[in-house]
Amino acid sequence: MNATTLPILDLARYADPADKAAFLADLRHAARDIGFFYLINHGVDDALQYEVQRQSQRFFALDEAQKQQVAMIHSPHFRGYNRAASELTRGQPDWREQFDIGAERPALTLSDDAPRWQRLQGPNLWPAALPSLKPVLLHWQQQMTQVGIRLLRAFAEALQLPENAFDQLYGDKPNEHIKLIRYPGQQETQSSQGVGAHKDSGFLSFLLQDEQKGLQVEVAPGEWIDAVPLAGSFVVNIGELLELATNGYLRATVHRVVSPPAQQ
């Protein structure tokens, strides 16, 4: 594998009978050979993408006290805000601020011996200082879930399975997770680790990038390429659960984020 850039896949081809078979072959090869690709013509409105980015910027511009009101320490469901360097990857701090939400559902009533993962379901934390954030992110979550389901069905067909082969794994209540991220930059951190090398744990990840590069993908041992921002696209990568569901045929790939240089 001598990839120097991520492949670009056009989801509109999936709905074109004349091009569908070729699209499925391209999807299969991208997911098996690299595990990352750009997705264009995904159907999510440009205005919504812009508004998500605008609300994200407004959230991270709140003062520290306002962000700490929704700190993850206040949530038994692992939702909310974490300041930069509060998490470690491979023993080193990740210099990124982040705000996590999941599916907006009530907490389950659990017995003392219930599996701990069931505690993950519950309400999100929302900043009182930014009431416009909640409706935008919940709409975004709904739209991205539909893209994810559509793409998983394309993967099923690409693997010569029934279109609904993966449906039973997420049912009518998929496990949704949104993460807003801000990388402070090396002028604040004196470190190049935005987030250390890792694989994503879920089925599919969709990244909406702004104009700042930094994401890198390990296409071969020790060989990294930049996933530079591509306007109008999502960067999509295979998670470990989808790798497991396909018995390792599809590839969950190691990736990292290099903190922006000073003054960027």
The C-alpha atoms of residue 200 and residue 184 are separated, in whole angstroms, by 22
Residue 176 lies in a domain: yes
Q: Check which CATH number belongs to the domain holding 198 and give it.
A: 2.60.120.330
What pLDDT, on a 0 to 100 scale, did the predictor assign at position 239? Answer: 96
pTM for the complete prediction? Answer: 0.92
Residue 39 lies in a domain: yes
Residue 263 lies in a domain: no
Nearest CA to 215 among 233, 189, 203? 233
Whether the per-residue pLDDT at 1 is higher than 60: the answer is no
What total number of domains does the chain contain? 1
Q: Residue 50 pairs with which residues in a beta bridge?
A: none
Task: Locate 225 and state its tokens.
Answer: 């390429």
What pLDDT, on a 0 to 100 scale, did the predictor assign at position 3? Answer: 74
> In this predicted model, what pLDDT tens digit does every residue of 174-200 receive, in sequence order?
889 999 999 987 766 678 889 999 999
> In this predicted model, what pLDDT tens digit does every residue of 6-27 receive, in sequence order?
999 999 999 999 999 999 999 9
> In this predicted model, what pLDDT tens digit does every residue of 121-160 receive, in sequence order?
999 999 999 999 999 999 999 999 999 999 999 999 999 9
> With bands split at pLDDT 50, 70 and 90, how would you rate the model's confidence at 264?
low
Q: Give me the mean pLDDT over the 109-115 stretch.
A: 88
What pLDDT, on a 0 to 100 scale, did the predictor assign at position 260? Answer: 79
Domain that holds residue 41: 8-110+118-258
What pLDDT, on a 0 to 100 scale, did the predictor assign at position 227? Answer: 96
Residue 219 lies in a domain: yes
Q: Give me the mean pLDDT over the 47-61 stretch.
A: 98
Residue 1 lies in a domain: no
What pLDDT, on a 0 to 100 scale, did the predictor assign at position 112? Answer: 87
Residue 27 lies in a domain: yes
What pLDDT, on a 0 to 100 scale, did the predictor assign at position 134? Answer: 98
Residue 3 lies in a domain: no
Q: Report the length, in residues, of the chain.
A: 264
Residue 87 lies in a domain: yes
What pLDDT, on a 0 to 100 scale, did the predictor assign at position 261? Answer: 76
The C-alpha atoms of residue 228 and residue 175 are separated, in whole angstroms, by 28
Q: Residue 97 pairs with which residues in a beta bridge?
A: 182
